[in-house]
Amino acid sequence: MSAKKIMTTKELAEYIKLNEKTVLKMAQNRELPGVKIGNQWRFRLDAVDEYLQSDVIGSSREELDTIIDTADHIIPLSRLTEPSLIRMDFEAENIDGVLKALASTAREAGITPDADELFRRLKKREKMLSTAIGSGIAIPHPRHPDEGLFKKPNVVIARSIKGVDFAAPDNKKVFLFFMTCAANVIVHLRLLAKIARIFQNEGVFEKFMGASNENEIMRVLMEQEREKITIGAR
């Protein structure tokens, strides 16, 4: 689907899997970027995608919990990654190096059939707007997730000890990279919400950086998910 595509209310509702009336209300309340022409709303796909992704990353703890918990089937992040999907202390020195390493890891793990195409789409996304969210973290992802690029939902994790200049909004280097692998935009947004949510917990960044191997990275993920469940049960 072209990023420049102009969508009707009905088409957008189908794309983001919401009721058409809900999309209309969100547009009227300026919760979605759109233009009203006469009595009809029109939406640019690239603007909607960017808005949704930025909105997820910038959401509060409670808002992120709502996004995550509205999923029909909530899969823990720790079940969407494994030691083979984790790159410890990799030595990429620039954005291209990071993206190539992530794409190569996904190909070797059988998540994507084409590392070159994944790299191309990751790079295209970074040229539009950096996926770094600040505080040493980035969430690289292709602009429009689809079934042809990813065979199943997963998360690839990479850690850089030296850090990489990644055009972060706080102008600081990025040390932790979480690449979301999703076949559709809804799963992608929920993965973004899950990742953003765990880094709102104090000391999580330091735990990831202090992990000595892939299994410890996995344990940090599981620990944060257990904490979320415990807090929610109170």
Considering the domain architecture, whether residues 107 and 170 belong to the same structural domain is answered as yes
pLDDT band at residue 198, thresholds of 50, 70 and 90? Answer: confident
Q: What is the pLDDT of residue 166?
A: 96
pLDDT at 234 over 60: no
213 burial via Cβ count (<10 Å: 0-12, 13-18, 19+): exposed
What is the amino acid identity at position 200? Q
Asked if residue 187 and residue 224 are part of one domain, the reply reads: yes
Is there a domain that residue 69 lies in?
A: no
* pTM of the predicted structure, to 2 decimals: 0.75
Which percentage of the chain shows pLDDT scores above 70? 82
Quick check: 217 pLDDT over 60? yes
CATH number of the CATH domain containing 104: 3.40.930.10
- Which residues are part of the catalytic machinery? 141
Same domain, 147 and 205: yes
User: Which segments within the chain are labelled E, that is strand?
Assistant: 6-8, 35-37, 40-44, 86-87, 132-134, 137-138, 154-164, 174-181
Shared domain for 171 and 120, answered yes or no, is yes
Residues, the chain, total?
234
The answer to whether residue 19 scores a pLDDT higher than 50 is yes
Residue 174, pLDDT score: 97
Residue 1 placed within a domain = no
- Averaged pLDDT for residues 188-207: 86
* Predicted confidence (pLDDT) per residue in 50-93, tens digit: 666 665 655 555 544 544 454 444 567 888 899 999 999 989 99
Which tokens is 132 given? Answer: 């770094």
Q: What is the extent of the structural domain holding 27?
A: 6-57
